[in-house]
Structure 1
Amino acid sequence: MPPTMRLTAINLDCPDPIALAAFYQKATGYEPHPKSDAEFAGLTREDGLFIGFQRVDDYRPPTWPDQIVPQQLHICFKTDDLPATAAHLLTLGATKPPHQQGEADGRWLVLLDPAGHPFCLVRG
């Protein structure tokens, strides 16, 4: 039997860690990490999952869906009210790219965070 692993952190490159952490904090309600600063900011979920945002010089946002600059990863969030959640996130600074794969049948919606990372809202 292989050793047990548990996901404890996800870290995203970005140009402004404080601003991106603020976006996700407003979106999720996760608690800001007390040692967040201009180089690395973070949020902690009640079960301990940590989302970190690290500053990268000359950051280039992913170009989704064409992958000229690959997305490298994306985060998915389950929601009971996909349209209301999307509308809320758009007011916080998310954007909706024109290309959508799951929107036609209402299963999921792709948005971009303020640093350009694609993330999905999944009907839950």
Structure 2
Amino acid sequence: MALAKIRTIVLDCPAPHALAGFYAQVLGGEVKGAPDADWVDLFVDGLRLAFQRAPGFVAPRWPGGEHSQQIHLDLDVEDMEAREKDVLALGATALDLADNGGRRGFRVYADPAGHPFCFIRA
């Protein structure tokens, strides 16, 4: 028997509304929260991602190191090359694109606040 159910996944960041907007463009969904709010929610496909203002936020570094990633999102995509162009245009940063001609099956990016996430070939 499970002890609990996940309600929300929360990412610390310097600008919650902006980061929620980035993920809304990547994942779809509805952003709820004022532009200057310290907490903003993104509701998408029955999930809730939240973005919390963190004074003194230090972006994670991938891979590991002094500021470990702590958490990352794995996102399925149908067309890796097309979605890569789209997400880079939205403000993501490429961290590791060496997927060995598609054999590895994933590529690593950072969102505008520096959180790593992966596109996984669906």
Q: What TM-score comes out, normalization by structure 2 length? A: 0.88
Q: Which residue does 1:32 correspond to in 2? A: 31
Q: Which residue does 1:89 correspond to in 2? A: 87
Letter aligned with residue 99 of structure 2: E
Distance 1:85 1:5 in 2: 34
| Contact 1:36/1:42, CA 8 A, preserved across alignment | no
Q: Aligned residues: percent identity?
A: 37
Q: Which runs of 5+ in 1 are unaligned?
A: none
Letter aligned with residue 45 of structure 1: V
Q: How does 1:16-95 map to 2 (within 5 A)?
A: 16-34=15-33, 37-47=36-46, 49-95=47-93
CA RMSD of aligned residues (A): 1.8
- Alignment: residue pair count: 120
Distance 2:33 2:66 in 1: 36
Which is further off, 13-22 or 2-11? Answer: 2-11
Q: Which residue does 1:121 correspond to in 2? A: 119
Distance 1:76 1:57 in 2: 26
Higher strand proportion (structure 1 or 2): 2
Q: Deviations over 1:51-108 (max 9, x none)?
A: 00000011000011142101110001001111111110000000002x45x6124200
Q: Secondary structure at the match of 2:63?
A: coil
Compared with structure 1, are the counterparts of its residues 104 and 94 closer, same or farther at alpha carbon in structure 2 (3 Å cutoff)? same
Q: Which of 75, 99, 104 is the aligned partner of 2:100?
A: 104
| Contact 2:17/2:34, CA 8 A, preserved across alignment | no
| Contact 1:79/1:121, CA 8 A, preserved across alignment | yes
Distance 1:123 1:87 in 2: 15
Q: What TM-score comes out, normalization by structure 1 length? A: 0.87
Q: Which runs of 5+ in 2 are unaligned?
A: none
Compared with structure 1, are the counterparts of its residues 10 and 36 closer, same or farther at alpha carbon in structure 2 (3 Å cutoff)? farther
Distance 1:76 1:3 in 2: 23
